[in-house]
Structure 1
Amino acid sequence: METKEKRFEQDIETFFLSDEGGYVSLKSSQFDVDKCICMDELCRFIEKTQPKAWAKYLKYYGENAQEKLYFRLEKCISEQGLIYVLRHGIEDLGIKLKVCYFKPETALNDLDVEHYEANILGCTRQFRYSPHNTNTIDMVLSVNGIPVVSIELKNQLTGQDYQCAIRQYKNDRSSKEFCFRLDHRFLVYFAVDLYEVWMTTQLKDGSTYFMPFNQGSNGAGVSGGAGNPDYPDGYATHYLWEEVLQRDSLMDILYRFISHVKEKDEETGKTKEKLLFPRYHQYDVVRKVLADVKENGSGKNYLIQHSAGSGKSNSIAWIAYRLASIHDANDEGIFDSVIVVTNRVVLDGQLQDTINSFEHKVGLVEAIDDKKNSHSLAEAINDGKKIIISTVQKFLFGYKDMDSYKGKKFAIIIDEAHQGQSGESARMLRRSLIDIDVAVKEYAEEQEIDVEDVDLTDEFINSVVGQGRHANQSFFAFTATPKGPTIEVFGTEYIGADGTPTKMPFHVYSMKQAIEEGFILDVLQDYTTIREAFKLVKVSEDNPELIEGAASKALFKYYKKHGYTITQKTEMLMANFLANGRFQINGKGKAMVVADSRANAVRYYLAIKQYLKDHPRESAGCDVMIAFLGEITLEEMPMEKPFTEASMNLDENGKYITTDKKFRKVFHSSQYNILVVANKYQTGFDEPLLHSMYVDKKLKSVAAVQTLSRLNRTCFGKASTFVLDFENTEEDIKKAFQPFYEESSMEGATDLNVVYDLRNKLNEYMLFNYDDVEKCNDFM
């Protein structure tokens, strides 16, 4: 049995120690168990790559140089973190020392290449990490004597799997150990078996959270579910050591992916720290995008269909950062600027924070936020800022201030492609950034006229010149729900099995995979319509466990009554939410009511307010907010002042809420737990505490997926969602979700098989919880 287990470890070690793997063998005994470092290797690297600085260091400290180096290194790591020290080195007595060198973007400087090749990457079996016990880690990878990767290897042939490795990390690897501090020695911990890989960046004993680091059931970047595909030539998890942890790849991840993030908890005010390590699909999409751009240069479009829960903001940040410095085979820069088009304030800050953790160059990122106008956008582009964040609307007004971009090339990243790929603003974006000389020449050739005869003062000609693809522009479009026009504009053309061409996304992380990996919840799992609920009432005599007594009577009366009102629907949804939804997520559950118009949203808001007033005991601790644009006057209340969102929402101090950021913050707090919306916050609203949704609006296609997906965000204590739909049918919603569950194409949807077997059940827990029939009669 032991031989089988050792064979797995030996095969992995054999790859690491090969020329392709790029590692050398280091024994555990070469590491100081108290310091968890191999100072001999680190000093050997410094002496080889920085001989003058090391000679000066030796002159100062003599035979104590190694010990002094350790104390200085340890002090810097404790204050700034290991990842910072790896990237920026240390300084002692005015002597600057690098502890590793990263691969340069170009091969123009021979010394930079030589320094990078001098790095000593070590592979150690049975690594002893503590002076307090004899425990060992199956395999450890180090950079110049500093351990950075921990791998516990398990083998199903010996009756163990990755879950055994996870339990070992949780139970036998104390977070109090010196080497397991966050960003101190190990930067990532892998639990690996023959079929799956899971990882974490921080050990927290029993509460340690591991996430899957798998390709997907059908392979990387294509539609499928959780897990990994079979690999006839070896182990299904081979990609971990052959791709991700191979020498060049690991060094690339250390330099350009891992990020130390500090986040302030809005409720507690405390600052939380964590390390961001890419999930496999994030690593894969960045790698594949860069490889394609290096090969083909500018002028191509890329559609990236990544589900909610994919970590899209970080993927955008990593791609933007890499595109800003990418060079072609001739070591020439491919793009002059990277422009990120987004409507999300959250992404603005996250993008800047992530990139700033890699490089500390002032002005690398220029955000054209609400405080800046379209003229500021033009200035940023004209000045050649490397990464620019803006809304697409600013191009509609800023193009006149933009210079002619002869010879300049741009990478344009679009967050939510279906929102940013069409319309006058998007056309103006393309027109603003074209190389006008090239575009005019192409137009003249198509029209078979001389270039001198192209009149750019003619609006029609000017518009035609600005349309279509341009060799100086590459678009990288992200969306979870691509529509047909989006696929047509940004999709990659493939030849199908029958020989016909079709357009498909360049890279996919499907909704199915995100659900199966646990990064989002399946909002259709507990979805029901009022019609289906009524059907259950009719068969409840034979199936009394489905829906009983008072709930059955109330539902029957509701359904049979013609012309039921918003007040009656409000009583139904509030009875449900107050009895069940609010107690979900450890008592923090929130609800969204989706109205079909602004007027009806206001009516729902007023009806809910009245219900809360009429039921003070049951509704204690509950309150409602509303979201809509503009102002509205109700026909039945003509004498009232027009209703506006700002005038109807108050913060904890009784002040009007006038900004989107404040709105989201207040709703996230314990002050409110019900939100009524009308054509607002049905997209891009990420509130993990949303558990219940009540839909009173006809939803079609993408709108249905985006609206119901407001519930799919996960958080601690959230195990389910609930949707009660007054307007749509199960078939409507199933049809809407089908194209986006796995992969979209111009040919149609991928078959869902049996995954959307919408369960025809509605128990008392889901809908009602009345104590007696009298209350039920009063309900209607």
Structure 2
Amino acid sequence: MPSVTNEKALESAIEKKLSGTCLEELGTTSGVSERAELYRAGNGYYLGETKDFNAKYGIDEKRFWNFLETTQKDELEKLQKQNDWKLKILERLDRMIKKYGVLSILRKGLEVDDANFVFMYVLPLASSSKSIKDNFESNQFSVTRQINYSLDNKREEIGLVLFLNGLPIATMELKNPWTGQTAKVQGQDQYRYKRDISQPLLQFGRCLVHFTADTDEVYMTTKLEGKDTFFLPFNLGNNHGKGNPPNPFGHKSSYLWEEVLTRSSVANIIQHFVRFDGSNKDNLSKRNLYFPRYHQMDVVRKILADASKKGVGQTYLIQHSAGSGKSNSITWAAYQLIETYPESDKIPGSKGIDNPLFDSVIVVTDRRLLDKQLRENIKEFSEVKNIVAPAYSSKELRESLESGKKIIITTIQKFPFIIDGIADLSEKRFAVIIDEAHSSQSGSASDNMNRAMGQTLSEDEDESDPQDKILEAMRSRKMRGNASYLAFTATPKPNTLEKFGIKQENGTFKPFHLYSMKQAIEEGFILDVLANYTTYKSYYEIEKSIEDNPLFDTKKAQKKLKAYVETHRQTIDTKAQIMIDHFITKIVNTKKLKGKAKGMVVTQSIKSAILYFFAIRKSLEEKGNPFKIVIAFSGKKTVEGIEYSEDIINCFAEKDTRDRFADDDYRLLIVANKYLTGFDQPKLTAM
């Protein structure tokens, strides 16, 4: 059929780019020439054959044994005196992949009795020894088309599979939009409804990623779950929106095989990006496998490349919208920055190409969740323990900085307390990652932060604008060579753009990297608020009881008056009633998400959150308690003479709030400065 022919044409184009040739050029679809020149052409892949695929173990046996025999002959000899030694290795491999996934084998190797096998030689650095570089070149990447993957039905095929040393790393189904077949619809449906996910190759953890692609777009998933399989877009974005831009040199989606699937890129992704959450003690099926979306991989790689080239003392504004997976991007960046090496010993901050560029990476955030994510993430990549040092007290922070901890997580509130007692750190090099820069880098706390890094502000600086003071400090002579600042934010203010952004010829500033709100909306990661909101106007009438005063600050007064009105019992009771009526009518009664949809009430302060909680709870009691609510805020707050905390109001521990809200009984979450970013609740429908 034409569609099959066209899909095969795309297969052959990818195959040729990766290996330097394709089955059609060889004049055969059943056998592959052993000519050595076929390897190292294209992107350095071997051309695989379907007959070499072992469906029971999900591996390319030819590449598997050839790799071990050519690189680890001595280890094989330890087992070759035993009967069925090959079967013993395969059975051990199968058990370990079922328990920990193929990622564990690629990263940590395989032990069989007293033999220890490596299954991926790591990507070398520019300064690496010749033996390390030679080892990497001995890796055998291969690409095989139309693999018969099923033990039960020999007619079942996967369009294209990529292997590393015989182990599967990616599958791919290809479609052609010109025939009405797209990756987004038919490609995803093929994985959901027409592929037997019980077969070894498609079981969770056997492959790192499953792609569906056409000439225009790419989608991916790490877990095939039949009809419930969830795909993520793996696209560049076009005009700040979804999809991919026109490509004058080929298909819009060609970056997948021309850039992402090169040998060095794949090795980098395996070494530094792909990870499981949870613990190895957890059942594999209960864990999640993270593969970076394109913009996540792209921003980290560009930051590292720029730092290696330009050295320390740079500023970066990463404008990534809600829905971008910013927390993962930050953790990937933090971990890889501690292993970033300068291109030369002449760039600012360089201590030689054999030494890392940064002594420590400091993550400044108000999100405790990021602490946990960083710990879990880095455990997957490093055998060294205690790389991440949480520093939530002045003592912890001071000790971590002075002892040279590699990754330090702190909050903007705690950072200033190290100033008086800390040693001079001007000779050290830091990368400072600021989470949600527009809110974290303001006020006196940010001034103290620069002072703690060994910097001082000029005495004649304008005290009225802390943003200007920070900018001046970062541009001062002392600031150079001491720290690079990376600001991650979804909505940068103009002064944040100017402080961290890249200046254009017309005098404006742009971010170093952008994943726009438009793209997040079009890709379905966040709702378009402007298309899904209801407005309620507020009118204030407050009696004036003072004489006109020329020193009276009208702007500040209006702000205080508004705060007074907004926290008044009558105001809150009225608004609470409106919100509950709307939520019950539009969400609960309409059975959204099969009657499990949830909502979030975002308040301006902890006091407001507490008052709204009790007002909403009272309204629900009057309606017969149709569902439960939960509150989230940090610390303690005294309201109307009573001290409250999150756990006291909820009647369960603060650490359990996220999990409790996931229960079906709880439908509304009232928050104040918490869970506003990096909070993933799939059933959240209204705000």
The TM-score bracket by the shorter chain reads: 0.7 to 0.9
Count of residue pairs the alignment pairs up: 609
Distance 1:676 1:168, change over 3 A: closer
Q: Which whole-Å CA distance do the structure 2 matches of 1:648 and 1:65 have between them?
A: 58
Alignment-derived partner of residue 686 in structure 1: 679
Q: Is the 8 A contact 1:306 1:480 kept in 2?
A: yes
**Cα pair distance change 1:230/1:57, threshold 3 Å:** same
> C-alpha offsets along residues 177-210 of structure 1, whole Å, 9 cap, x if unaligned?
11211112x2211111111111111111111111
Q: Does 1:673 align with 2:667?
A: yes
Structure 1 partner of 2:32: none
Structure 2 runs not aligned, ≥5 long: 21-40, 345-352, 459-468, 539-568
SS at match of 1:404: coil
| In the alignment, structure 1 residue 529 sits paired with structure 2 residue 535 | yes
State how far apart, in whole Å, the 1-side matches of 2:99 and 2:284 are.
19
Deviation at 1:588, TM superposition (A): 3.1
Note the C-alpha offset of 1:211: 1.4
Aligned to 1:41: 63
Structure 1 residues 256-405: aligned runs within 5 Å: 256-262=272-278, 272-330=286-344, 331-332=353-354, 333-369=356-392, 373-405=393-425
Shift of 1:136: 1.4
Residue equivalent to 2:637: 630
Q: Deviations over 1:102-143 (max 9, x none)?
A: 113343321111111100100111111122112111111111
Q: CA deviation at 1:478?
A: 0.4
* 2:9 match: 7
Structure 2 residue aligned with 1:65, among 79, 85, 106? Answer: 85
Distance 1:35 1:323 in 2: 37
The runs of 5 or more residues in structure 1 that have no matched partner are: 219-223, 444-460, 533-562, 634-641, 689-714, 724-780
| DSSP 3-state at the match of 1:375 | helix
More displaced 10-residue stretch of structure 1: 312-321 or 271-280: 271-280
593-602 vs 233-242, which deviates more? 593-602
Paired residue for 1:520?
526
Secondary structure of 1:250's partner? helix
Q: Distance in 2 between matches of 1:418 and 1:80?
A: 40
- Once the two structures are superposed, residues 633-665 of structure 1 have per-residue CA deviations (whole angstroms, 9 ceiling, x without a partner) of 2xxxxxxxx1443399544xxx4x574x34444
In structure 1, give the amino acid aligned to 2:583: F
Preserved contact between residue 605 and residue 626 of structure 1 (Cα < 8 Å): no
Matches within 5 A, 1:128-527: 128-133=148-153, 134-162=155-183, 163-184=185-206, 186-218=207-239, 224-262=240-278, 272-330=286-344, 331-332=353-354, 333-369=356-392, 373-434=393-454, 468=476, 469-495=479-505, 500-527=506-533
- Tell me if structure 1 keeps the 8 A contact 2:364–2:410: yes
**Contact 2:174/2:214, CA 8 A, preserved across alignment:** yes
CA deviations 1:356-376 (Å, max 9, x no partner) are: 11122112222224xxx2122
Q: Take 1:578 and 1:379, find their aligned partners in 2: how far apart are those partners?
A: 52
Contact 2:416 2:452 in 1 (8 A): no
1:589 aligns to 2:612 (yes or no)? no
Separation in structure 2 between the aligned mates of residue 682 and residue 175 of structure 1, nearest angstrom: 35
Share of identical aligned residues, percent?
37
The AA in structure 1 aligned to 2:623 is H
Report if aligned partners of 2:55, 2:201 keep a CA contact under 8 Å in 1.
Answer: no
CA deviation map 1:205-252 (0-9, x unaligned): 11111111111013xxxxx11111111221000010011111110111
Deviations 1:304-338 (A, max 9, x none): 00011111111011111111111122433211111
- Corresponding position of 1:446: none
The amino acid of 2:293's aligned partner reads R
Find the aligned partners of 2:444 and 2:370 in 1 and give their Cα distance. Answer: 24
Asked if the contact 2:633/2:674 (under 8 Å) is kept, the reply is yes
Instruction: Output the CA distance in 2 between the equivalents of 1:282 and 1:112.
Output: 28
Q: Distance in 2 between matches of 1:73 and 1:217?
A: 43
Q: Is the 8 A contact 2:147 2:158 kept in 1?
A: yes
Q: Letter of the aligned partner of 2:667 in structure 1?
A: N
What secondary structure, in the 3-state scheme, does the structure 1 residue paired with 2:84 have? helix
Matches within 5 A, 1:734-753: none
The yes-or-no answer on 1:103 pairing with 2:123 is yes
RMSD: 3.2
SS in 2 for 1:283: helix
Distance in 2, Cα, partners of 1:86 & 1:520: 35
* Distance verdict in 2 for CA 1:466–1:401, change over 3 Å: farther
1:28 matched to which residue of 2?
50
Describe the SS at the equivalent of 1:645. strand
The answer on whether the counterparts of 1:602 and 1:626 sit within 8 Å (CA) in structure 2 is: no
Distance 1:77 1:531, change over 3 A: same
Contact 1:155 1:193 in 2 (8 A): yes
Alignment partners' CA distance in 1, 2:571 and 2:387:
56
Contact 1:415 1:479 in 2 (8 A): yes
Q: 1:645 to 1:108 in 2, by over 3 A?
A: same
Q: How far did 1:161 drift?
A: 1.5
Partners of 1:176 and 1:334 lie apart in 2 by: 47
Give yes or no for the alignment of 1:50 onto 2:50: no
Cα distance between partner residues in 1 of 2:289 and 2:620 = 43
